[in-house]
Protein backbone atom coordinates (compact mmCIF):
# COMPACT_ATOMS: atom_id res chain seq x y z
CA UNK A 1 0.00 0.00 0.00
CA UNK A 2 2.46 2.72 1.00
CA UNK A 3 4.68 4.00 -1.76
CA UNK A 4 4.07 5.21 -5.28
CA UNK A 5 1.03 4.00 -7.24
CA UNK A 6 2.33 2.02 -10.22
CA UNK A 7 0.36 2.85 -13.40
CA UNK A 8 2.52 1.16 -16.03
CA UNK A 9 6.10 0.03 -16.36
CA UNK A 10 7.52 3.54 -16.65
CA UNK A 11 4.76 5.64 -15.06
CA UNK A 12 4.07 5.87 -11.33
CA UNK A 13 2.28 8.43 -9.16
CA UNK A 14 4.04 9.49 -5.95
CA UNK A 15 2.14 8.93 -2.73
CA UNK A 16 2.29 12.67 -1.94
CA UNK A 17 0.01 13.42 -4.93
CA UNK A 18 -2.75 11.09 -3.72
CA UNK A 19 -5.29 12.60 -1.33
CA UNK A 20 -7.41 10.31 0.86
CA UNK A 21 -10.72 11.00 2.62
CA UNK A 22 -12.55 8.57 4.85
CA UNK A 23 -16.20 8.52 5.91
CA UNK A 24 -18.88 6.15 7.13
CA UNK A 25 -20.05 3.70 4.55
CA UNK A 26 -23.76 3.35 3.83
CA UNK A 27 -25.75 0.14 4.06
CA UNK A 28 -26.24 -2.47 6.76
CA UNK A 29 -23.63 -3.10 9.40
CA UNK A 30 -23.02 -4.50 12.83
CA UNK A 31 -22.33 -2.82 16.14
CA UNK A 32 -19.39 -0.84 14.73
CA UNK A 33 -21.38 0.65 11.86
CA UNK A 34 -21.53 4.13 13.40
CA UNK A 35 -17.88 4.26 14.45
CA UNK A 36 -15.99 2.78 11.49
CA UNK A 37 -14.88 5.09 8.69
CA UNK A 38 -14.61 2.42 6.02
CA UNK A 39 -15.66 4.39 2.91
CA UNK A 40 -12.67 5.72 0.99
CA UNK A 41 -12.36 8.59 -1.48
CA UNK A 42 -9.12 8.83 -3.42
CA UNK A 43 -8.46 12.11 -5.24
CA UNK A 44 -5.72 12.79 -7.75
CA UNK A 45 -5.04 16.22 -9.26
CA UNK A 46 -4.49 15.29 -12.87
CA UNK A 47 -4.11 18.87 -14.10
CA UNK A 48 -1.27 19.73 -11.71
CA UNK A 49 0.61 16.43 -11.55
CA UNK A 50 4.27 16.15 -12.47
CA UNK A 51 4.17 12.34 -12.43
CA UNK A 52 2.81 12.12 -15.97
CA UNK A 53 4.70 13.64 -18.85
CA UNK A 54 3.09 16.46 -20.84
CA UNK A 55 1.87 14.11 -23.58
CA UNK A 56 0.34 11.61 -21.12
CA UNK A 57 -1.20 14.41 -19.06
CA UNK A 58 -2.80 16.05 -22.11
CA UNK A 59 -4.13 12.71 -23.32
CA UNK A 60 -5.56 11.86 -19.89
CA UNK A 61 -7.14 15.30 -19.46
CA UNK A 62 -8.83 14.96 -22.84
CA UNK A 63 -10.12 11.43 -22.25
CA UNK A 64 -11.22 11.95 -18.64
CA UNK A 65 -12.67 15.43 -19.17
CA UNK A 66 -16.21 14.41 -18.17
CA UNK A 67 -15.00 12.81 -14.90
CA UNK A 68 -12.83 15.72 -13.76
CA UNK A 69 -13.85 18.46 -11.35
CA UNK A 70 -11.35 21.34 -11.54
CA UNK A 71 -8.77 18.93 -12.95
CA UNK A 72 -9.19 16.42 -10.10
CA UNK A 73 -10.36 12.84 -10.57
CA UNK A 74 -12.00 11.19 -7.55
CA UNK A 75 -12.57 7.48 -6.95
CA UNK A 76 -14.89 6.27 -4.18
CA UNK A 77 -14.81 2.73 -2.77
CA UNK A 78 -17.19 1.36 -0.16
CA UNK A 79 -17.86 -2.21 -1.25
CA UNK A 80 -15.82 -3.81 1.56
CA UNK A 81 -16.30 -3.58 5.31
CA UNK A 82 -12.60 -2.98 5.88
CA UNK A 83 -11.02 0.42 5.21
CA UNK A 84 -7.80 -1.27 4.10
CA UNK A 85 -9.55 -3.32 1.42
CA UNK A 86 -11.46 -0.24 0.23
CA UNK A 87 -8.15 1.65 -0.02
CA UNK A 88 -6.69 -1.15 -2.13
CA UNK A 89 -9.81 -1.22 -4.34
CA UNK A 90 -9.66 2.56 -4.86
CA UNK A 91 -5.96 2.42 -5.77
CA UNK A 92 -6.56 -0.41 -8.24
CA UNK A 93 -9.44 1.49 -9.87
CA UNK A 94 -7.44 4.70 -10.17
CA UNK A 95 -4.47 2.83 -11.66
CA UNK A 96 -6.75 1.12 -14.21
CA UNK A 97 -8.47 4.40 -15.08
CA UNK A 98 -5.16 6.19 -15.63
CA UNK A 99 -3.74 3.22 -17.56
CA UNK A 100 -6.65 3.40 -20.02
CA UNK A 101 -6.47 7.21 -20.19
CA UNK A 102 -2.77 7.37 -21.13
CA UNK A 103 -2.86 4.42 -23.55
CA UNK A 104 -1.90 5.33 -27.12
CA UNK A 105 -4.80 5.85 -29.51
CA UNK A 106 -5.80 2.84 -31.61
CA UNK A 107 -4.45 2.55 -35.15
CA UNK A 108 -6.61 4.06 -37.86
CA UNK A 109 -8.71 1.63 -39.84
CA UNK A 110 -7.45 1.07 -43.34
CA UNK A 111 -10.45 0.95 -45.66
CA UNK A 112 -10.62 -2.15 -47.82
CA UNK A 113 -12.84 -3.13 -50.67
CA UNK A 114 -14.47 -6.53 -51.17
CA UNK A 115 -12.71 -9.03 -53.40
CA UNK A 116 -14.01 -9.72 -56.89
CA UNK A 117 -15.14 -13.20 -55.81
CA UNK A 118 -17.14 -11.78 -52.89
CA UNK A 119 -18.87 -9.27 -55.20
CA UNK A 120 -19.70 -12.01 -57.72
CA UNK A 121 -21.08 -14.31 -54.99
CA UNK A 122 -23.29 -11.50 -53.66
CA UNK A 123 -24.67 -10.71 -57.13
CA UNK A 124 -25.25 -14.40 -57.90
CA UNK A 125 -27.19 -14.79 -54.62
CA UNK A 126 -29.27 -11.71 -55.46
CA UNK A 127 -30.11 -13.10 -58.92
CA UNK A 128 -31.12 -16.45 -57.45
CA UNK A 129 -33.38 -14.73 -54.92
CA UNK A 130 -34.87 -12.56 -57.66
CA UNK A 131 -35.55 -15.61 -59.85
CA UNK A 132 -37.20 -17.43 -56.92
CA UNK A 133 -39.52 -14.48 -56.27
CA UNK A 134 -40.26 -14.09 -59.99
CA UNK A 135 -41.32 -17.75 -60.22
CA UNK A 136 -43.77 -17.29 -57.34
CA UNK A 137 -45.72 -14.58 -59.17
CA UNK A 138 -49.11 -15.22 -60.80
CA UNK A 139 -48.98 -15.06 -64.54
Tell me: pLDDT of 21 over 70: yes
The average pLDDT across 10-26 equals 85
Banded model confidence at residue 30, pLDDT cuts 50, 70, 90: low
Please give the Cα distance from 76 to 20 (Å, whole number).
10
Banded model confidence at residue 65, pLDDT cuts 50, 70, 90: confident
DSSP H helices in 17-115: 54-63, 83-102
Express each pLDDT in 49-58 by its tens digit.
888 888 988 9
Query: Closest Cα partner for 39 from 29, 49, 51?
Result: 29
Express each pLDDT in 94-104 by its tens digit.
999 999 998 89
Of 31-40, 78-87, 127-136, which range is least confident? 31-40
The model's pTM is 0.71
The average pLDDT across 109-129 equals 96
Please give the Cα distance from 18 to 121 (Å, whole number).
60
Domains contained in the chain, CATH given: 5-102 (3.30.160.20)
Amino acid sequence: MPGPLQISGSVSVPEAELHWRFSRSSGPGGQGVNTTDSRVELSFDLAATEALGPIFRARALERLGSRLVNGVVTIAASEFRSQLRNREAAEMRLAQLLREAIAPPPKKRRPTKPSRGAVERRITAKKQRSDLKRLRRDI
